Amino acid sequence: MNRYPSTETNPTHKMGFVGLAGAPNVGKSTLVNRLVGQKISIVSDRPQTTRERLCGIRSDATMQMALVDIPGILEPRDAFNTALMETAAQSLKDCDIILHLRDARRPGDPADPPVRAMIRRTKRPVWLVWNKIDRVPGKMFPAEGEGLDYVKVLGISAKTGRGVGALVDALREALPVGPPLFDEDQLSDRDLRFLAAEMVREKLFRYLGEEIPYALATFTDIFDEDRGEKIYIGITILTEREAHKPIIIGKGGAMLKKIGQAARAEIENLCQRPVYLDLRVKVHPRWRKDIQQLLELGLKPSISS
């Protein structure tokens, strides 16, 4: 239930969509979680952690903004990455403001040109936001981007919160007047089924290191709130190779148990209820090139990919 005043009673209330665009691993998801005030977007030091568009929602009495977290932008090489980039491009076109996040440690990042190219095509207002400024104290950063005319330039640390308050104040000033579109207690536009699978995927990245780089996906088969005190959640872990399966499961099931315990704690925090988490591992060779499998995972690849 939304108890914040509508524009009829509060004609200055702001509402808008803010897109976060950047090369892989610049800290977009960390910033979304910081702004929302709770972890809803998974975080990893692995590129392409974010795979689907996710909106984090920040609401207060004067403003509601939907923070659009998209996959890190790169040159696609298969149906999977093509689907990610198509999702990213469409999501940015629908935003009121785009934040071009760049890593302050890498001002000349060679991974940034595809980001700039995609942003240019949106024709939306763009702000340059240098992230991770806590890692390079006192350094001055370029205020221009090739082919991009920035409306504002700011520096932040999404991890520590430095500069984030100033970013919020600037967005509050710039967003269009409008009524809230989401309930005041809603933190994301994605349901708990999706977020539960994402929490499991994050833990796979965390505990498996470099052993299985990009060959994993997760999806929720069962989300049953009517089996008693605990929510029963069944999640499938999808991998490309048979040899990956024993790595994920571990000796005597130890690794899968470790992943499940860590993920369950975060899922219970999201659900605010105890959870029974049932994890299963399935092998699907070349799933990243399988159009039907990508559709089942919620991605929308071009049929020609």
DSSP string of 185-208, one letter each residue: T--BSS-HHHHHHHHHHHHHHHHH
Q: How confident is the model at residue 77 (pLDDT cuts 50, 70, 90)?
A: low
Q: How confident is the model at residue 293 (pLDDT cuts 50, 70, 90)?
A: low
Write down the CATH number for the domain with range 192-296: 3.30.300.20
Which residues fall within 8 angstroms of residue 216, CB to CB, at 6 or more apart? 201, 204, 205, 208, 237, 238, 239, 244, 248
3-state secondary structure of 114: helix
100, 115 Cβ separation under 8 angstroms: yes
Q: How far, in Å, CA of 181 to CA of 4, rounded?
A: 11
Give the model confidence (pLDDT) of 132-188 as tens digits.
999 998 777 778 777 789 999 999 999 999 999 999 999 999 999 999 999 888 888
- The answer on pLDDT for 216 being more than 90 is no
3-state secondary structure of 210: coil
At the top level of CATH, the class of 14-174 is alpha beta
Give the model's pLDDT for residue 296: 59
| Cα dihedral 175, 106, 161, 44 sign | positive
For residue 190, count other CB atoms closer than 10 A to its CB.
17
3-state secondary structure of 32: helix
- Quick one: average pLDDT of 288-294? 60
Q: Where are the domains of the chain?
A: 14-174, 192-296
- Quick one: average pLDDT of 102-106? 92
- The answer on pLDDT for 50 being more than 60 is no
